[in-house]
Structure 1
C-alpha cells in the first residue's frame, strides 16, 4: 500500500504558492496574541468559557455513545456525566474555572521545568545542554511565580500564556511565509 501523505517537495511547493496566505495567517495570529495579552482577564475568562462548552458538548456526545454501545460502557457514561457537570459548574462560575486552569498551568510549568532541568543535566557533556537547563529554569520559575501569586495570578496567567502561544504561532507562520517568498524568487 502506497503512502498517501504528501512529500516534502509537495509541501514546500504548496507553501511557496500560498506564501501570502501564510503571511496573512501569521499576522492575524500575531495580532490576536497581542489582544489576548493586552486583556488577560477577559482572555482567561473567554478561554475558560470555551473549555466549559467543550466539556459539555464532549460529555453529551460521550453519554450518547455510552447508551448506543452495547455493554461495558459504564466508564464512558460516568466520564461523560462528569464532563457535563464540570462544564456546567465552570460555565456558572467562570472565575473558579479560571482559578482551576491557573493551578493546572502552574503545576504543568513546574513539572516541565523539573523534567527539563533533569534532562539538561543528563545531557551536560553534549552541546546545547545549557539551553535545555535554561528552558527548564524558566519553566520552573514561571510555574512557581504563578503558584505563589495565586489567587491573583488567575486574573492574568491563562490569558497571558494563551497570548504568548498564539503570538509565537503567528511568528512561525510569518517566518515560513517570508522564507517561501524568498525561495520563490
Structure 2
C-alpha cells in the first residue's frame, strides 16, 4: 500500500469541483453554531453528554485492550483507568447537569492556566515584534476564566454551549470562505 499525498493542484481541483458542497456544509455549520449559541443550556448539556459517551466508549476500548495484553505488568493500571473512564462517563450521562458544572470549572481552569502561560511567554518575548498580541491573548484568557469563575454556577448554563457554538460557526465560516474562493479558481489542465 502506498501513501499518496495529494498535491496542491489536486486539492485545488477537488475544492473547485466540490465548492457547492463546501458552501452547503459551511452554511449548515453556521446555522448549527448559531443554534448552539442561542440555546446555550441545551448545547452545554449536549456537549456534556457527548463527552460522557466518549468516556464510556473510550473506557470500554481501553478495557478490551487491557484484557488483550493481560500478561503485561501494566494490566491492572490499564483496567483501572478503563473502569474509571466508564464509571465517570456513566455518572456524567446519568447526571449531565452536574457534569456540565464540572466541565465548566475545567474549562475555566484551562483558560486561566493558558492565560498565565501566554502572559509569561509574551513577557519573555518582549524583544520580539508581536509580543503584545501574546500578552493580550493571555490577558483575555485570564479575563474569561475570571468571568466564568465569578459567575459560577450560573455560568455553567451557557459557557460550554457558547464555546461550542462559536467554534462550530467559525468552522462554518471557514468552509464558506474556502467554497467561495474555490468557485472562482480555474483548475490546472
**Residues 84-113 of structure 1: per-residue CA shift (max 9 Å, x gap):** 110111111111100111011101111111
In the alignment, which of 94, 97, 109 is matched to residue 95 of structure 1? 97
More displaced stretch, 102-111 vs 4-13:
4-13
For the residues of structure 2 that align with 1:66 and 1:43, how far apart are their CA atoms? 34
Spell out, residue by residue over 1:63-88, the C-alpha distance to the aligned partner (whole angstroms, 9 max, x if none). Answer: 12212223122211111100111011
Structure 1: how far apart are the matches of 2:29 and 2:123? 35
TM-score for both structures, normalised by structure 2 = 0.90
Deviation at 1:48, TM superposition (A): 0.7
Q: CA deviation at 1:158?
A: 0.6
TM-score normalized by the length of structure 1:
0.92
Unaligned runs of 5+ in 1: none
CA RMSD of aligned residues (A): 1.8
Matching residue of 1:26:
26
Aligned-pair CA distance for 1:8: 2.2
Q: 2:62 & 2:102 partners in 1: Cα distance? A: 23
* Bigger mean CA deviation after superposition, 37-46 or 1-10: 1-10
Aligned pair partner of 1:128 in 127, 130, 140: 130
The total of aligned residue pairs comes to: 185
SS at match of 1:125: coil
4+ runs deviating over 3 angstroms = none
* Structure 2 residue aligned with 1:58: 58
Query: In 2 relative to 1, CA 2–94 (structure 1 residues): closer, same or farther, beyond 3 Å?
Result: closer
Q: Does 1:176 align with 2:181?
A: no
Q: CA deviation at 1:3?
A: 5.6
Distance in structure 2 (CA, Å) of the matches to 1:60 and 1:31: 34
Could you say what secondary structure the match of 1:6 adopts?
coil
For residues 106 and 76 of structure 2, the distance between their equivalents in structure 1, rounded to whole angstroms, comes to 27
Q: Distance in 1 between matches of 2:140 and 2:111?
A: 9
Could you tell me which residue of structure 1 aligns to residue 167 of structure 2? 165
Q: How far apart are the structure 2 equivalents of 1:184 and 1:103?
A: 49
**1:135-154 matches, cutoff 5 A:** 135-154=137-156
* Whole-angstrom CA distance in 1 between matches of 2:42 and 2:96: 11
User: Unaligned stretches of 5+ in structure 2?
Assistant: none
CA drift at 1:2: 7.2
**Mapped partners of 2:60, 2:99: distance in 1:** 19
38-47 vs 173-182, which moves further: 173-182
